[in-house]
Amino acid sequence: MKNKVKLHIVFWLAYLVYDTGLEYAWMRGLYANSSTWHLIWLVLATVIVMLPPKLLLAYFVLNVTIERGIMKSKKAIYLVLQLIPILAASLVSYRLIVHYVVEGKIYYEHPWGDKLWATTTLINSFIGIAFATGWAVAMESFRMFWISREREKGLVKEKLEAELMFLRTQTNPHFLFNTLNNIYALARKKSDETANVVMKLSKLLRFMLYESRKERIPLADELRMIDDYLELQKIRYNERLKIDFFKEIDDPTKQVSPLLLLPFIENAFKHGVSETRFDSYIRIDAKLERGTLQFYIENSKEENGEIEVNDNIGLSNVRRQLELMYTDYNLDIKSQEKKFTVNLTINLNHDTTL
């Protein structure tokens, strides 16, 4: 409300400056022998006393005609019938002010001699009132359009954030389920590493509970979480699995969505290593250069093995997150005879939600 009042004050001050300049240029010839300050005083007095009829019509149109027309959807005929008396009142008061105050008191030295109700003077008066009202309506329409646009942007952002949060809540239980399976397998073997795995899991859960709730986290934190996850998996698979994780990051503070990369790594274990009876490998390359992230994963799989990715919850969710968050990305997933590869390129500078 305060901003609206300030905007209207600024508008009418700007209008007074404009009207003063126009009136000054019009009257300068008649008052060539008068001082500049004397003429400016006369002009200011003129535009000020002529302002009330303009305000009457302008704010009736803004607060009654337009507001009721929009909010209450009244028919045009009713709006016109309401407008006619106010227009007449504005026009009559405007003519009276011009004739008796402006010509009779302010410019008495050079009376114009216009008739009070002459057709020409009525038309000129109507144009003067309508001009101010038109600009006021245009200003208010632009303000309402801007507010509506910002509100729409806010709603779109809220919807986007809600959907992203929903996708993450789906990813977290998926991740937890896979990790608990790992602990279950170790517990059945009565492995001495079970306690260590539980400790690492608690560390990862802490990340999921606190960090994943943030809109963005530094890329370094995301990669550190991946390191912890890989260490957790190494305990389970021992020497049967070889993991190489190469990182080349020029800006570790670059912001990314939490848990954006984890589903690809989970997929490599779930559909690659866990389904392989022999020695297997996972190779991960993460490179960030000038805001462009290149993330590559390659994992071994059984010969002629098939990996279904269409119904995979994790990959489906991350595809949707990429669609929502980035306008410049490329995701290439390939299932070959003996290996499965994921090649993701994201321009992190084109984050739609920042």
pLDDT for the residue numbered 311: 46
pLDDT for the residue numbered 353: 59
Which pLDDT tens digit goes with each residue over 15-55?
Answer: 888 888 888 887 877 777 777 788 888 888 888 888 888 88
Domain residue spans of the chain: 2-152, 158-350
pLDDT for the residue numbered 30: 75
Which pLDDT tens digit goes with each residue over 258-275?
Answer: 888 888 888 888 776 766
CA torsion through residues 193, 199, 200, 201, sign = positive
| Residue whose structure tokens are 């509970």 | 209
Rg, C-alpha atoms of the chain: 36
Q: What is the mean pLDDT of residues 120-136?
A: 82
Distance of CA 231 to the CA centre of its chain: 39
d(CA 350, CA 354): 9
**Please, are residues 101 and 49 in contact by the beta-carbon 8 Å criterion?**
yes
**Please, are residues 225 and 207 in contact by the beta-carbon 8 Å criterion?**
yes
d(CA 98, CA 246): 83
pTM of the model: 0.54
**Please, are residues 200 and 232 in contact by the beta-carbon 8 Å criterion?**
yes
133: amino acid identity, one letter: T
Distance of CA 72 to the CA centre of its chain: 30
pLDDT band at 248 (very low <50, low <70, confident <90, very high): very high
**Please, are residues 277 and 239 in contact by the beta-carbon 8 Å criterion?**
no
Q: Give me the helix-helix angle, 2-27 and 51-60, nearest 10°.
A: 140
d(CA 285, CA 244): 8
pLDDT for the residue numbered 287: 93
Which pLDDT tens digit goes with each residue over 158-187?
Answer: 566 655 565 555 555 656 676 677 677 767
pLDDT band at 140 (very low <50, low <70, confident <90, very high): confident
Q: What is the mean pLDDT of residues 229-237?
A: 78
If 0-12 CB within 10 Å is exposed, 13-18 middle and 19+ buried, where does residue 339 land? middle
Tell me the CATH number for domain 158-350.
3.30.565.10
pLDDT for the residue numbered 187: 75
The rounded mean pLDDT for the chain is 77
- DSSP-derived letter for residue 28 is T
pLDDT for the residue numbered 268: 82
- The answer, yes or no, to whether residue 252 has pLDDT greater than 80, is yes
296: amino acid identity, one letter: Y
Mean pLDDT lowest among 66-70, 81-85, 174-178: 66-70
Q: How many residues does the chain have?
A: 354
pLDDT for the residue numbered 294: 94
